[in-house]
Amino acid sequence: MPGFPLKLLRWFCKPEYLPDIEGDLLQLYYRRTESLGRRRAHLLLIRDVLLLCRPGLVRSSDLLRRNKNLTAMLKHNLTLSFRSFARHKTTFVINVIGLSSGLMCVLLIGLWVKSELAVDQFHKQGSRLYQVMNNLQSQNTITLDITPVPLASALVAEFPEVERAVSTNNFFSWETRDGILSAGDVSIQATGWHAGPDFFKVFSFRLLQGDENRVLTDKNSIVISEAVARKLFSDSDNAIGKSIYWKHPLFEGTFLVSGVFETPPAASSAKFDFLISMEVLLDHDRWAAKWTGDYAQTFVLLKEGADVVQFDAKLKGFLKSKDPGLARFSLFSQPYLSRYLYGNYVNGVTSGGRIDNVRLFSVLALFILLIACINFINLSTAEGSLRMKEIGVKKTMGASQWLMVHRFFVESLVMTLISAVVAIVLVFLITPYMNDLVGRDLLSTIEPQHLIGLGGIVLLTAIIAGAYPAIHLSRFKPVAVLKGRLAESRGQWTFRRSLVVFQFALVVIFLVAIQVIHRQIEFTQTKDLGYNRYNIISFPWKGELYNMWNGLGEGKSNQNFESFMSRVRELPSVLHATNLLGNILEKIPSQSGITWNGLDSERDYEFQSPVVGFDFIETLGIEMREGRTFAKDRHDDYSKVILNESAVKLMGLRDPVGKKIDMNGGSEIVGVVRDFHYGSLHEAVQPLIFRCDPTGRTVMIKIRPGQEQKAIDEIQKVYATFLPGYTFDATFMDDDYLALYASETSMASLSQYLSVVAIIISCLGLFGLAAFAADRRMKEISIRKVFGSTPADVVRILSREFTVPVLIAIVIGLPISFFLAKEWLSGFAERIDLAWWYFVLAAIIALVVSWLAVALKTLKAARVSVLRGLREE
C-alpha cells in the first residue's frame, strides 16, 4: 500500500471524509497499477492527493480545534510550574537572580544603544543630507570639518544634484564660544552659530515663530531658541521684533529677533542657542569670504535619487579648481545621519567612532544574557531526573511530545516573565544613575518601541532558555523513565559540561580584562609625564583678545587681558600664571616646512608647535636641559623658540642654544626642555617647538599647594571684575588629564560591573549543578561514608567533576584574553607589559570561585546523615 501520499492526506483531510476518499484513491491506485504500472500509479496518486487539498476538505487547524483544551491546559501547566518553583526553591531563586540580572544588563544597554542610534535621526530629509568634510594631505591625512564659506553657494550653482546647501560657523572652536546675550536688564551666557539663509530648509529644526524664508536673510536678524526667549522676555510668545545685544570677543552688536525655534532636542548632535546671519561673519572678518579661509561647516541637501559616489568624485578636486593653492585639500561628503556614530577618521576615511562602543557593549550584554540562559538550560536538564516520573506517567496516559514541550515551555516562559519583572524594577532603579553617566535621559518617555523591544527580548530569552530543555525533557521514553533508568546520556553530560566551560571561559576573559584595564589606567596616572599636573587650574579668557590667530586687528594692545594677568600673578595664593593658545592636553597646533642647517632637504618633518606665553615652562614644572625659558623682561616674542629633546635629536643639532632655525622667518633657539608627555599616553612624544606669543586665550595658573579653594575664589573675583556676566569655567589640570581616558575609565567600570554579574551568574549555575550532582549521588556518598570517607574526601570527589570543565575553560579563555588584551593595549604608545601573573591570577580566581560555589553545596551533602541517604532501600 502506498504510504506517504496517504499519510499526507490523513494529515490535512477532514477525518469524517477520510475513509471513503481513501477507499476511492486506493481503488484507483490498484487499477492504475495494473494498467499503467506501479510508478505511474504512485505519481497519479500523489497528484490526486495534492488536488484534494481544498478548503472544503481540509480540516481546521489543530490549534483552532483544540482551543477549548488549550486554555485548560495552559492553566494546568501554569499551576504545575508554580508548584515546581515552590518545590525547588533554590533552583528557582538561582534562575531568577541569573535571568533577571542578565535581562537587566541587556535592557539597560539596549536603552543606551537606542538613544545612541537615535541621535540626529529626527531630520526629515536626513537620507539626503550630507556634511562636506575636508581632507588635508600632509604626513598623514588629517580630516577637518571646516570648509571655505563660498563653498555652499558654489555647490548649489555648479552641481546639478545639489538641491540646497548651507554654511554655518560656530564662532571658532579654538576661540571661546560663549558670549553674553542681553535684553533690557536680563543677561545670559549663550552660544550660537552663524548660518546661511537656507538653514531651516535643510535641517528639521522647528521654527515656532517667524518665516523660514526670511529669518536669516537680514544682517540685523537673530533667531533664538525657545529656551533663550523664555529667559530673556517675559512674553516670549511675541519675541519677534524685540532687540537683543550680543557681546562676544569677536564681535558685538544689536540684533532684532526674527524668529524663535524649538530648542534642539537632546538627540541632536548640533547644539546652539541662537543663529545669526553668515553675512555678519563676512563683515567682521576680512578672510572669511575667501576660498583660502576655512571658516564654515558646509551641509548639502542632495536631490532625490542623486548619485553620491559621483558627487564625491566631483567634490574631490573642487577646491583645487577654485584656487590652485588649495591642492593639498580634497573634499568628500559624510552622511549627516551617521556623522555622530562614525566620527573617527584615519587617513581621510571614516573608521568607526562611537559605533565601536555601541557594538562592543551590545555584544557584552548578549554574552551576559547567554550565560544566564545557559544556567537555566543546565539546571532544567539536570532537574530532568526528578521529572522522569511526571513525564513517564503523562506520556503513558497519552500525552504527545508536543504537549510535554508545551508544559516545559510554559514553565520557562513564566520564569522569564518573573525575571523580567524583577529586571524592569531594577532598570527603573538604575536608569537615573545611568542618565548621569551618559548625560542623556534614557527613559524620559516610554514609547511603543520600548515595549516591543522588551517583549522581543523576553520572548527571545524564553526561547533560548526554554527550547532545549523542553525538547530534551519531552523526548524521554516513558518505559525507560518509569523503570527508573536514568535518562542521562553521555552526550547530555558533555553538553552540560561544555556550557560550564563556555561560562567560565567568559569569566576568565572578564577577569583578565579588569586587571589589564585597571593596570593601564593606573599606569597613565602614575607615569612621570615630565611635568607636574597637580594644583594647576585652567580656564578660558572670554573677553576681547587681539592676536594674529583669530584674525582680529593684529598689534592692537591687549591692555585689559594683560592687567588681568598681572593682577592674578600678584595674588599670594598663586605661584605662576601663564597663557597659551588652545589646549596643551588635546590639540596642539603642528607645523611643517621648517628648515635648519643640516636638514636633508628632501624630507619635510612635522613638529608639534604650541604657542605659549611667559612662565609656561615654570607653571607646568617642565625640566630645562639647556638655556633659559621665555621671559617678559627679555622681551621674548615670536622669533624665539624652545625645543624639546626629541626635536634636537631629530634635527641633529649640537649645542642648539643660540642657533637659528627657519620657521616662517628666522627663529632663535633659546632653550631645550626635557621630553614631556603633552597629551594622553595614546600618542608617543613627538618633536616639539615652543613658540612665544602671550596672546593665547587659555589661562593656566599654578596654585600654592593647600590653598586651592582660596585661590579659586580670589581668581574668580578678579575675573568677575574684568569680565562681568561671564561664567568662570575653571578646571583642574589633573581632572582634565583623567578625562583624556574617559572612554577607558568608563570601559573599566563597565567591565567591572559586567564581570561581577558574569561571575555571580556562572557561580550560581555551578552551585545549582553541584546541588543536583550531590542529590543524584546521595547513595554513593552514603556508602563511601560507611566505608570511612571523611566529609573532606566527599567534597573532593564531588568537586573533581566540576574542576575539569573549569580547567578547560581556563585553557580556552587565557589565550583569547591574551590576544584581546594585546589588541587593546596596542592603542597606547606608552603601555604596561602583560605580566604572566595577570593570567595566573585570573585562573586562580576562577578556580577558587568555582570551588567555593561547589563546596558550599557539597559540604552540606557530605554532612547529611548516612541513614537518610540509604534509607530508601
Partner 1 sequence: MYYRVLQGHGMKKYQLGEFEEVVLLTVGILDGDAYGVTIKDEIESRLKREVSVGALQITLRRLESKGHLKSKLGGTEKNRGGRPKLYFVLTAGGKRALLHTRNTRDELWSALPQLTFKLE
Give how far the C-alpha of residue 625 lies from the chain's centroid of Cα atoms, to the nearest Å: 43
C-beta atoms surrounding 444 within 10 Å: 10
- Measured from the CB of residue 32, what is the shortest distance to partner 1 in angstroms? 11
Q: Which three cell numbers stand for residue 88?
A: 525547588
Binding to partner 1 by CB under 8 A, coded x per residue (else -) over 382-421, reads: ----------------------------------------
* Least distance between partner 1 and beta carbon 24 (Å): 3
Give the separation between CA 196 and CA 216, rounded to whole angstroms.
7
| Rounded-to-integer distance, Cα 286 and Cα 754, Å | 55
Residue 16 C-beta: closest distance to partner 1, Å: 10
Decide: helix, strand or coil at residue 687. Answer: coil
| Residue 19 contacts partner 1 per CB under 8 A | yes
φ/ψ (deg, to 5) at 797: -65, -45
Span interacting with partner 1, options 18-26, 128-136, 726-734, 768-776, rule CB under 8 A: 18-26
Residue 56 or 439 having the CB closest to partner 1: 56
* 569 within 8 A of 718, measured Cβ to Cβ: no
Sequence letter at residue 477: K
Q: Which of 4, 10, 30, 428 binds partner 1 (CB under 8 A)?
A: 30
- Cα separations in angstroms, 278 against 152, 168, 174: 11, 7, 19
Q: Is 368 in the site for partner 1 (CB under 8 A)?
A: no
- In the bound state with partner 1, the residue whose beta carbon lies nearer, of 2 and 791, is 2
Under a CB-based contact definition with an 8 Å cutoff, are residues 829 and 683 in contact?
A: yes
Candidate segments 43-51, 72-80, 359-367, 627-635, binder of partner 1 by CB under 8 A: 43-51
Report the Cα–Cα distance between both ends of the chain, in Å, rounded: 53
Set of cell numbers at residue 522: 593606573
**Nearest CA-CA partner of 443 in 461, 420, 424, 456:** 424
- Kindly tell me which residue out of 52, 365, 377, 571 binds partner 1, with binding defined by CB under 8 A: 52
3-state secondary structure of 580: strand
From 4, 7, 10, 24, residue interacting with partner 1 (rule: CB under 8 A): 24
What minimum distance in Å lies between the beta carbon of 46 and partner 1? 12
Instruction: Give me the DSSP letters along 182-236.
Output: EETTEEEEE-EEEE-TTHHHHS-PPEEES-TTTTTTSTTEEEEEHHHHHHH-SSG
Q: Which of 36, 43, 53, 844 binds partner 1 (CB under 8 A)?
A: 53
Q: Is 54 in the site for partner 1 (CB under 8 A)?
A: yes
Return the range that interacts with partner 1 (CB under 8 A); candidates 26-34, 459-467, 738-746, 769-777: 26-34
CB of 28 to partner 1, least distance (A): 6
Q: Find all residues with CB under 8 Å of 486, minimum gap 6, and list them.
A: 385
User: Which among 497, 428, 412, 495 is positioned nearest to 461, based on CA atoms?
Assistant: 412
Cα(584)–Cα(605) distance, rounded to whole angstroms?
Answer: 21
Closest distance between partner 1 and the C-beta of residue 68, in Å? 25
| Shortest distance (Å) from residue 88 CB to partner 1 | 51
Nearer to partner 1, 10 or 316 (CB): 10
Out of 7, 27, 83, 706, which residue is the one contacting partner 1 (CB under 8 A)? 27
> Taking contact as CB under 8 A, which single stretch among the options 25-33, 100-108, 667-675, 807-815 is the one that binds partner 1?
25-33
Alpha-carbon span 256 to 811, nearest angstrom:
72
28 binds partner 1 (CB under 8 A): yes
Residue number, 5 or 687, with CB nearest to partner 1: 5
- Residue with smaller CB distance to partner 1, 38 or 389: 38
Kindly tell me which residue out of 4, 7, 23, 483 binds partner 1, with binding defined by CB under 8 A: 23
d(CA 212, CA 365): 45
Minimum CB separation from partner 1 for residue 1, in Å? 6
- Report the residue from 4, 7, 10, 31 that binds partner 1 according to the rule CB under 8 A: 31
Least distance (Å) from partner 1 to the CB of residue 31?
7
Residues 6+ apart with CB under 8 A from 704: 535, 572, 573, 574, 575, 711
Q: How far is the CB of 48 from partner 1 (least distance, A)?
A: 5
Cα 557 to Cα 706: distance, rounded to the nearest angstrom = 36
Closer by beta carbon to partner 1, 46 or else 585? 46
Residue where the block lists cell 500525552: 399
For 254, which DSSP code?
A: E
**Minimal distance in Å, beta carbon 50 to partner 1?**
8
Task: Specify the residue, 21 or 424, whose C-beta has the smaller distance to partner 1.
Answer: 21
d(CA 382, CA 267): 48
Q: What are phi and psi of 597, to 5 degrees?
A: -65, 125
Number of amino acids touching partner 1 (CB under 8 A)? 22
**Of 31 and 779, CB closest to partner 1:** 31
Is 56 a binding residue for partner 1 by CB under 8 A? The answer is yes
Q: Which residue among 8, 46, 57, 847 contacts partner 1 (CB under 8 A)?
A: 57
Nearer to partner 1, 18 or 308 (CB): 18
User: Three-state secondary structure along 74-99?
Assistant: HHHHHHHHHHHHHHCHHHHHHHHHHH
Q: Of the two residues 55 and 553, which places its CB atom closer to partner 1 in the complex?
A: 55
Q: Which is nearer to partner 1, 32 or 710 (CB)?
A: 32
**Quick one: which of 22, 488, 544, 708 contacts partner 1 (CB under 8 A)?**
22
The distance of closest approach from Cβ of residue 15 to partner 1 in the complex, given in angstroms and rounded to an integer, is 13
Chosen residue from 3, 11, 20, 833 binding partner 1 by CB under 8 A: 20
Minimum CB–partner distance for residue 58 and partner 1 (Å)? 10
Minimum Å distance from CB 34 to partner 1?
10
**Which of 4/402 has CB closer to partner 1?**
4
For the chain, the residue count is: 873
Specify the pairing of strand 606-608 against strand 590-592. Answer: antiparallel
Q: Which of 12, 32, 48, 523 binds partner 1 (CB under 8 A)?
A: 48
Gap between the Cα atoms of 423 and 435, Å rounded: 17
Which span sits near partner 1 by CB under 8 A: 48-56, 353-361, 577-585, 610-618? 48-56
* Shortest Cβ 38–partner 1 spacing (Å): 15
Nearer to partner 1, 53 or 346 (CB): 53
Is residue 21 involved in binding partner 1 (CB under 8 A)? yes
Identify the bridge partners of residue 58 per DSSP, sorted by sequence position.
Answer: 13
Place of cell 579668557: 541
**Closest C-alpha among 527, 532, 557 to residue 545:** 557
Shortest reach from residue 25's CB to partner 1, in Å:
6
Least Cβ distance, residue 60 to partner 1 (angstroms): 15
Work out how close the CB of 39 gets to partner 1 at its nearest, in angstroms, rounded to a whole number.
19
Binding of partner 1 by 17 (CB under 8 A):
yes
For partner 1, the closer CB: 14 or 359:
14
Which single residue is written with the C-alpha cell 492504475?
A: 32
Q: Is 301 helix (H, G, I), strand (E, B) or coil?
A: strand
What does each C-alpha distance from 367 to 360, 373, 377, 586, 734 come to in angstroms? 11, 10, 15, 35, 36
Residue list 502-561, contact with partner 1 (CB under 8 A): none
**Stretch in the footprint of partner 1 (CB under 8 A) among 27-35, 241-249, 704-712, 771-779:** 27-35
Helix axes 401-438, 384-396, angle to 10 degrees: 140
Question: Rounded to whole angstroms, how far apart are CA atoms 254 and 242?
Answer: 10
CA 835 from chain centre, in angstroms, equals 29
Tell me whether residue 30 or residue 287 sits nearer to partner 1 (CB atom): 30
Write out the residues near partner 1 by the rule CB under 8 A.
1, 17, 19-28, 30-31, 47-48, 51-54, 56-57
